[in-house]
Amino acid sequence: MQQVNIHDAKTNLSKLIEKAVRGESFVIAKSGKPMVTVSAYTPPPNPAKRLGFLKGRLEVPEDFDSMGKEAIQSMFEGTE
């Protein structure tokens, strides 16, 4: 991996960015000490595409809204 000092990185930023976009990562160093690695940005997966990914695989029971009603009510009222 190529190592570039900060001054050279400032001077050649456009060229270095083009290299990173092509998949050639590089390290920016200060006084010979590596500081950061620069690589191409990979966007995260679109969260909108994840919506509905279990469609047709799960079934919500008809009594979903009232499931555990008695247990919850007893916790609040103190009856067992």
The pLDDT of residue 80: 57
Report the C-alpha dihedral over residues 43, 48, 50, 53, rounded to 10 degrees: -150
Residues of the domain holding 24: 2-38
* CATH code, 14: 3.40.1620.10
- Count of domains observed in the chain: 1
The structure tokens listed for 37 are 């690695």
Low-confidence ranges of the chain (pLDDT < 70): 79-80
Report yes or no on 72 lying in a domain: no
Asked if the structure places residue 79 within a domain, the reply is: no
Residue 18 lies in a domain: yes
pLDDT for position 53: 81
Supply the DSSP symbol for 16. Answer: H
SS3 content of the chain, % helix, strand, coil (to 5): 40, 20, 40
The pLDDT value recorded for residue 17 is 95
Could you report the per-residue pLDDT of 32-55, keeping only the tens digit for each?
999 999 999 998 877 777 777 888
Domain assignment present for residue 14? The answer is yes
Q: What is the mean pLDDT of the chain?
A: 90
| pTM (2 d.p.) | 0.54
Cβ atoms within 10 Å of 14's Cβ, excluding its own: 8
